[in-house]
Structure 1
Amino acid sequence: MFVRTGYFTGDPARLGRTLDGFTAEAVGLLSAEHGYRGYGLFANRELGVFTMGSWWDTAQAERDSDAKLGRRRGELLEPFAGTAAVDVWEAAAFAPPGEGAPGARFRLVRGDFDPASADRLVELFREQALPRLEAMDGFVGGALLIQRDRGRLSVGAIFRDEASFAASRTPQAEARARVTAAAGVTVRSLEEFDAVVLDRRPPR
């Protein structure tokens, strides 16, 4: 599968209205497109940052949907976003998503790796990181997204509530340290967000 992500920053005072717009429209617009498999919207309201990701069966489905919906995305962002970054990733490894609920939290890690070691990274994530995540109380879903040719990665993990999210910090940090060391990954950022929208569609 393929994932289109967006990362946006702006005036925190204007973020709420923009989130309301995406909450009202995004799932309806995306789910009308062929190959749609899910959507997540996550925000740090205090800082004025939000990120989102839409999941697609194929690279072509992702491209077609972006061609149709990119303009509306820009219109919804316009009152808020001072910066905008949109990327497309290969969903290299992921856990079957569970049910999200109000109060869910999202942790995002981004980094770099040697493109020649992409397969090794995916293997380590599947065999070591995912089982550790799935064993954590409150784990809802997680994924390793990569850009093989550029050596970029994005890892996200969702937990059902603040208590399980806080409790996951230490074991996830330990798993992250092991896998990144073994795979030669350089971590560039670690961020935490509230989950605003979580939509999952079963595979056909």
Structure 2
Amino acid sequence: MYARTTTVRGDPRAVEDGVAFARSDLWPAIERMDGCIGMSMLADPETGRCVFTSAWANEDAMRASAGEIGELRRQAAEVLRAETVDIAEWEIAVLHRSRPAGDAACVRATWVDVPAGHVDEMVDAFRMTLLPRLEDLPGFCSVSLLVDRLGSRGVAAVTYEDRAALERTREQGTALREEFSRAMNSTITEVAEFDLAMAHLHVPEMA
């Protein structure tokens, strides 16, 4: 399964409008596309940064959606008064849910660069060593890992039940990230925290 992320750096004052647009226009349009298996939206109301992720049953479905998605992306960027838009395509390597994410859920996302040729090794280690420890963190709901094999990079998104749980786990999360990064000889390029503004995901368990 595959995913396309669109990162929009918009006006913080327009984030609520962006969330409303995603719910009323974006998701209904994407849901009808062949091979679509879900969509989520992460939002940072303080900076205006939003990440839209569409999930696809296979690479062909993701590629076939590019034209229609492009027009929807333009509309979303306009609503959010975006300064920049970044697009990336990924393979969904891991998805594990312990409990449903409610309306107050928040996400901590970590982007990493992986040594060339070691993406599979990183995915296996993530499943075997890091995932069980993340699952023990208070307020944990779910985790996903997306990888770009050609680019030798990945992004992990850990969802917590609310902002308080996100903040309580910040120190433990940092320690786990750094330990895993050292073991994998990978480089953490960014860590960011978001509200889970919307999630309609029908991706099966992949852990």
TM-score band, normalised by the shorter chain? over 0.9
Quick one: which amino acid aligns to residue 48 of structure 2?
G
The residue aligned with 1:115 is 116
**Superposed counterparts of 1:49-198, under 5 Å:** 49-79=49-79, 80-96=81-97, 98-198=99-199
CA distance 1:35–1:96, shift in 2 (3 Å): farther
Contact 1:97 1:200 in 2 (8 A): no
Once the two structures are TM-superposed, the CA of residue 149 in structure 1 deviates from its matched residue by: 1.2
TM-score by length of 1: 0.92
Once the two structures are TM-superposed, the CA of residue 66 in structure 1 deviates from its matched residue by: 2.4
Contact 1:43 1:49 in 2 (8 A): yes
The residue aligned with 1:42 is 42
**Aligned-pair RMSD on alpha carbons?**
1.6
Work out whether 1:11 is the aligned partner of 2:11: yes
Quick one: which amino acid aligns to residue 113 of structure 2?
D
d(CA) in 2 for partners of 1:162, 1:70 = 32
Once the two structures are TM-superposed, the CA of residue 173 in structure 1 deviates from its matched residue by: 1.8
Q: Secondary structure at the match of 2:118?
A: helix
Identity %: 26
**Structure 2: unaligned runs, 5 residues or longer:** none
TM-score by length of 2: 0.91
Contact 1:91 1:145 in 2 (8 A): yes
Q: Secondary structure at the match of 2:37?
A: strand
Q: Secondary structure at the match of 2:83?
A: strand
**Structure 1: unaligned runs, 5 residues or longer:** none
Quick one: which amino acid aligns to residue 153 of structure 1?
G
Contact 1:41 1:195 in 2 (8 A): yes
d(CA) in 1 for partners of 2:155, 2:163 = 22
The residue aligned with 1:21 is 21
d(CA) in 2 for partners of 1:82, 1:202 = 31
Q: Secondary structure at the match of 1:115?
A: coil
Contact 2:55 2:203 in 1 (8 A): no
Aligned length: 203
d(CA) in 1 for partners of 2:177, 2:76 = 35
Once the two structures are TM-superposed, the CA of residue 97 in structure 1 deviates from its matched residue by: 6.6
Quick one: which amino acid aligns to residue 105 of structure 1?
C
The residue aligned with 1:32 is 32
Contact 2:109 2:158 in 1 (8 A): yes
d(CA) in 1 for partners of 2:194, 2:50 = 8
